[in-house]
Amino acid sequence: MLKRCLCILSCLLSLPALATELAVTVLTEDGKPMPGAVIYLTSEQALPGVEEGAVATMDQVNKQFAPHILVVQKGTQVSFPNSDSIQHHVYSFSAAKTFQLQLYKDNNPAPLPFDAEGKVELGCNVHDWMLGYIYVVDTPYFGQTNKKGQLSLNIADGDYRLHIRHPRIEEASANLDRNLSIHADEQVAIQLKQPLLPGLNEFEDDTDEFIGYE
């Protein structure tokens, strides 16, 4: 019994302590808050993998993808329900995930696994104005900025690479990514160097959080 307790204690002590808070603020080129920006941290050190059975949701609401932007850890399954009373035909030809789904009201297919990193662009063959994005990242440390352009992440101490992504940020432009060495609570402010690309209207989810940006 004692040996078993010592083994459990050893395993617990070997886990990284998520006691450090990283606060990130993203501003547009003209100094306005940038909501909906995808922030994630990668590292050369080993990071926890996705939780078994993790499922995220990309719904169809009022002939729009909801959320407009979704970020998931690699290995997550994504469910595509249809909350509209009409048919949708969702597809992606992105390298990170290629698929097609016929979506009918109350007849939802099984979730799809997203096992490759990258940006997945979604469209609908029935409604060509519909556009959505899924960012697949190989890290448990990720999120999106709120209406104030802010995001807080609880992470383990260590060395990381901070990445910023959004459909309206030109990825071929000046690189916004940067290296961070985190050993205490830290605040990072990043201002975009170029104007945003043209985009869709703003979208809001049920919690009134920004998931898009006009």
> How far apart, in whole angstroms, are the C-alpha atoms of residue 70 and residue 36?
9
What lies within 8 Å, CB to CB, of 79 at 6+ separation is: 55, 56, 57, 58, 108, 111
Confidence at residue 210, expressed as pLDDT on a 0 to 100 scale: 37
Confidence at residue 211, expressed as pLDDT on a 0 to 100 scale: 40
Tell me the pLDDT of the chain averaged across its residues. 85
Confidence at residue 200, expressed as pLDDT on a 0 to 100 scale: 63
Equal CATH topology for 18-47+139-202 and 53-133? yes
Helix/strand/coil (H, E, C) string of 142-203? EEECCCCCEEEEEECCEEEEEEEECCCCCCCCCCCCEEEEECCCEEEEEECCCCCCCCCCCC
> What are the boundaries of each domain within the chain?
18-47+139-202, 53-133
More confident residue, 170 or 36: 36
Whether the per-residue pLDDT at 174 is higher than 60: the answer is no
Instruction: For 96-140, write each residue's pLDDT tens digit.
Output: 999 999 877 666 789 999 999 999 999 988 788 889 999 999 999
Confidence at residue 4, expressed as pLDDT on a 0 to 100 scale: 42
Confidence at residue 176, expressed as pLDDT on a 0 to 100 scale: 85
Confidence at residue 17, expressed as pLDDT on a 0 to 100 scale: 54
Range 18-47+139-202: architecture per CATH: Sandwich (2.60)
Do strands 69-73 and 131-137 pair parallel, antiparallel, or not at all (unpaired)? parallel
Residue 3 DSSP label: H
> How far apart, in whole angstroms, are the C-alpha atoms of residue 73 and residue 47?
11
What value does the mean pLDDT take over residues 74-95?
91
More confident residue, 63 or 41: 41
The beta strands (E) that lie in the chain are given as 20-27, 38-42, 55-57, 59-61, 64-66, 69-73, 76-79, 88-94, 97-103, 112-114, 118-124, 131-137, 142-144, 150-155, 158-165, 178-182, 186-191
What value does the mean pLDDT take over residues 161-166?
96
CATH for 53-133 (1.20.140.10, 2.60.40.420, 3.30.365.10, 3.50.50.60) = 2.60.40.420
42-51, 75-84, 97-106, 149-158: least confident range: 97-106
